[in-house]
């Protein structure tokens, strides 16, 4: 009884020795006699940076609360993916018991775990499918899920959750420095493949609305960041080996890749930011690769191997865009040199 009075007293005195009560990291104890008054339980409903102490050097995640997962800690009836249920002796249950426990297991495993989080559960399933389709690494997927949760926590009135996760994937991919960047069109094509009506306009709309919440100052990509990826796509094109043979190229496919890469780097090194003039770096990279093949052919007195159609099919860039960048920008600058 005395303990209860001390707990709810505003003076916070020890019920035994009347000493002052102090708080440690996990307990409230008497400063004088050391009596433990009560335990301190940290609120486990927050994740990632909701620390009231202002310590920004760590990120906190509640138990069982993964960034890209909706659910929690707990056990399953039998194993998680088991089909036939057995008793403690290893014998199969009767058909009626199988039916009963399967229903209980299904209801607990899904409905209870995602209760009140059905939208997040559906969005993270889409995120997982799109990440696998685009071959995104784990960092991009986790960051996209984190951005989605952060935006949803700050803005209750979300216009479209699917376009929002598409925008989060785009931002997370741009922030990732180890993989080649993913374009908006590639993200929208992936969503459309799975039956979701997402287009670049919706992603840009969400970007204008929610980027202030994320407080990310992303820098625009340069053509150099797309170079390795696009050259690999061209080298792996099905028609390239036949083109090397028909044009009597002195190089193997690997040698051609090395020469093409070096020449593209040389072109981009001589192409100033003023000359690039704010052009799309992805399209410009495709045109630079086409120009590099032309310059290699002139230097070695051989025939050009690449065509605008082949570059377009390999990279997904429209032929007229490659031709426009080549004729109006690159050819006047480099073909005369």
The pLDDT score that the predictor gives to residue 74 is 54
Would you say residue 199 lies in a domain? yes
Number of domains, the chain: 4
pLDDT confidence tier of residue 11, bands split at 50, 70 and 90 = low
Average pLDDT, integer, range 87-106: 83
The better pLDDT of the pair 129, 156 is held by 129
Which residue segment(s) compose the domain that 12 sits in?
2-39
Residues 17 and 90 reside in one and the same domain: no
Looking at 59, 89, 112, the residue that finishes a domain is: 112
Q: 140 and 231: one domain?
A: no
For residue 145, the domain's CATH number is 1.10.472.10
pLDDT of residue 26: 61
Q: What values do phi and psi take at 61, rounded to 5? A: -130, 130
Q: In this structure, are 14 and 81 located in the same domain?
A: no
Q: Which of residues 52 and 324 earns the better pLDDT score?
A: 324
- Identify whether 60 is part of a domain: no
Do 84 and 137 fall within a single domain?
A: no
The rounded distance, in Å, linking the Cα atoms of 117 and 106 is 17
Residue 62 domain flag: no
Q: Is the pTM of this model over 0.75?
A: no
The set of residues, in sequence order, having a beta carbon less than 8 Å from that of 280 and lying 6+ positions away, is 321
Which residues, other chains included, contact 214 with Cβ-Cβ below 8 Å and sequence gap of 6+? Answer: 147, 150, 151, 171
């Amino acid at each position: 009884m005395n303990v209860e009075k001390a707990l709810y007293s505003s003076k916070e005195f020890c019920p035994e020795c009347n000493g002052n009560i102090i708080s440690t990291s996990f307990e409230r104890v008497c400063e004088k006699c050391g009596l433990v008054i009560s335990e301190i339980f940290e609120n486990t409903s927050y994740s990632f940076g909701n620390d009231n102490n202002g310590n920004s050097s760590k990120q906190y995640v509640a138990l069982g609360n993964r960034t890209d997962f909706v659910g929690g800690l707990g056990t399953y009836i039998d194993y998680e993916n088991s089909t036939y249920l057995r008793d403690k002796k290893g014998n199969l249950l009767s058909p009626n018991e199988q039916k009963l426990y399967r229903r209980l297991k299904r209801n607990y495993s899904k409905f209870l775990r995602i209760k009140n989080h059905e939208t997040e559960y559906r969005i993270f399933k889409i995120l997982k499918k799109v990440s696998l389709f685009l071959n995104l690494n784990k960092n991009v997927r986790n960051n996209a899920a984190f951005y989605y949760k952060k935006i949803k926590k700050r803005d209750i009135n979300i216009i479209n959750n699917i376009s929002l996760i598409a925008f989060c994937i785009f931002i997370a991919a741009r922030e990732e420095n180890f993989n080649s960047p993913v374009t908006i069109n590639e993200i929208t094509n992936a969503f459309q493949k799975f039956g979701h009506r997402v287009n670049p306009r919706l992603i840009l709309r969400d970007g204008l609305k929610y980027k202030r919440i994320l407080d990310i100052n992303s820098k625009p990509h340069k053509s150099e960041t797309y170079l390795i990826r696009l050259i690999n796509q061209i080298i792996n094109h099905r028609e390239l080996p036949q083109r090397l043979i028909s044009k009597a190229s002195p190089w193997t496919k690997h040698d051609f890749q090395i020469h093409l890469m070096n020449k593209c780097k040389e072109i981009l090194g001589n192409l100033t930011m003023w000359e690039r003039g704010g052009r799309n770096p992805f399209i410009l990279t495709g045109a630079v690769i086409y120009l590099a093949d032309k310059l290699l052919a002139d230097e070695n007195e051989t025939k050009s191997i690449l065509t605008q159609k082949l570059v377009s099919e390999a990279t997904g860039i429209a032929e007229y865009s490659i031709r426009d960048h080549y004729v109006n920008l690159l050819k006047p600058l480099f073909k005369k040199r």
